[in-house]
Amino acid sequence: MARSLNETGKHMQTTIKSIVRFAGTGLHQGRPARLSIHPAPANHGIWFRRTDIEGNAMIAARHDAVELSPLCTLLVNEAGVSVSTVEHVMAALSGCGVLNAILEIDGPEVPILDGSAAEFVRAILKTGVRRLDAPVHAIEILRRVHVSDGSASATLTPADELEIDFSIDFVDAAIGQQHKVLRLSNGTFVRELCDSRTFCSQSDVDAMRAAGKALGGSLSNAVVVDGARVLNPEGLRHIDEAVRHKMLDALGDLALAGAPILGRYTGIRAGHAVTNKLLRALFADPLAYRIRTLSATECRLLPGAGLERDVFSHI
272 noted as active-site residue: yes
Q: CATH code for 13-310?
A: 3.30.1700.10
C-alpha 234/C-alpha 268 separation (Å) is 28
Total residue count of the chain as it appears in this document: 315
What residues in the chain have per-residue pLDDT under 70? 1-11, 308-315
Q: What is the pLDDT of residue 314?
A: 59
Q: How many CB atoms lie within 10 A of CB 178?
A: 17
Is pTM beyond 0.85? Reply is yes
Q: 48 - beta bridge partners?
A: 59, 103
C-alpha 233/C-alpha 216 separation (Å) is 19
Which amino acid makes up residue 54? E
C-alpha 120/C-alpha 114 separation (Å) is 10
Annotated active-site residue in 28, 63, 88, 272: 272
Domain residue spans of the chain: 13-310
SS (H, E, C) the chain: CCCCCCCCCCCCEEEECCCEEEEEEECCCCCEEEEEEEECCCCCCEEEEECCCCCCCEEECCHHHEECCCCCCEEECCCCCEEECCHHHHHHHHHCCCCEEEEEECCCECECCCCCCHHHHHHHHHHCEEEECCCCEEEEECCCEEEEECCEEEEEECCCCCEEEEEEECCCCCCCEEEEEEECCCCHHHHHHCCCCCEEEHHHHHHHHHCCCCCCCCCCCCEEEECCEECCCCCCCCCCHHHHHHHHHHHHHHHHHCCCEECEEEEECCCHHHHHHHHHHHHCCCCCEEEEECCHHHHCCCCCCCCCHHHHCCC
CB 87 within 8 A of CB 272: yes
C-alpha 164/C-alpha 154 separation (Å) is 10
The radius of gyration of the chain from alpha carbons, rounded to an integer in Å, stands at: 18
